[in-house]
Amino acid sequence: MSKPFIEVAAGLILRPDGWLLLAERPAGKPWSGWWELPGGKIEAGETVLQALTRELKEELDIDVTDATPWVTYTHEYPKNIVRLAFCRVTGWNGEPAGIEGQRLAWVDPHKPITVGTLLPATEPPLRWLRLPDRYLITSIGHTSNLPGFLEQLDNALQSGIKLVQFREPAWANEAGLEEVKEGFRQVLQHCHDGGARCLLNSVHPESWRAQADGVHWRACDAQAQETPPSPAKGLVGVSAHTSEDLAAARRLNADFAVLGHVLETPSHPDQPGMGWARFAQLAEEASLPVFAIGGQSMQTLNAARQYGAHGIAGMRYLLAG
């Protein structure tokens, strides 16, 4: 006998200081006493954002003014299967109140949650929420460019970049491995000094990964993994261009994917981008946070979020601030 399938809209209600609102399940409902992200069932004919707006008015007596789609995730419970469309809510009118008698609590998602036991489906989005919203990819290219790049990197780190990927296939093709490894070591050190994490692209030797803060798989390398490798140290990212790439990311238990390219970009001048509509379609099926790449800058961050992106990834524009 198949389990009931329920479509739910759930809100990550975020204050300007980054604190998140959690709600306790009311008495008399399944999982009573457990803590969750507010929201409820999507009714026939409703969009996700329409359902979320209605539910948050009914549950919390707030009027949503600013919300964007984020991650759509399916979780199987003992008695049903729930497809949760998580949305980030950053604007509302009114003060949240427990209309159904439920307790509410503002929590810092970057610290251990101590209000009570979380619903199982609430744990992944709290983990994903800790990811930075900008992902800088290196583009050094040659040993002579390293000093200038490191100076720009320090400026980017000071401007708030907290996640960096070391990816240098062109440099690796023209220089010895030790030369590129030394460049990686310096980039890694600058990242750590600036309070950022540095992932290593899978194009580089596997033996280097022990030094990095995680691994970023190229799409072809992710596809080649028939079974998930042993748990990786740190974060796991995957480059994706298709549904098959996103399936590989899920198979690798990736923390996020980088999807694109979305817009025209100098690195792919003769290849049109997939556009925002296709990006949104793929992001919705990803089941994990997705960074938009291709023509992205701080000027496109808000637009990317409107189409379901967690954040943006890039080389030149993010390095230049």
CA Rg value for the chain? 21
> Sign of the CA dihedral 56, 62, 65, 68?
negative
Per-residue pLDDT of the chain (321 residues; tens, 9 = 90+): 688 999 999 999 999 999 999 999 988 888 899 999 999 999 999 999 999 999 999 999 999 999 999 999 999 988 899 999 999 999 999 999 999 999 999 999 999 999 999 999 999 999 999 999 999 999 999 999 999 999 999 999 999 999 999 999 999 887 789 999 999 999 999 999 999 999 999 999 999 999 999 999 999 999 998 776 665 679 999 999 999 999 999 999 999 999 999 998 776 677 889 999 999 999 999 999 999 999 999 999 999 999 999 999 999 889 886
Q: The whole model's pTM is what?
A: 0.94
Please give the DSSP secondary-structure letter assigned to residue 3.
P
Cα(first)–Cα(last) distance of the chain, in Å?
Answer: 55
**List of domains in the chain:** 5-128 (3.90.79.10), 134-319 (3.20.20.70)
In DSSP notation, 199-236 reads EEETTS-GGGGGGSSEEEE-HHHHHH-SSPPSPPSSEE
Length of the chain: 321
Measure the CA–CA gap between 267 and 5, rounded to whole angstroms. 43
Measure the CA–CA gap between 289 and 58, rounded to whole angstroms. 28
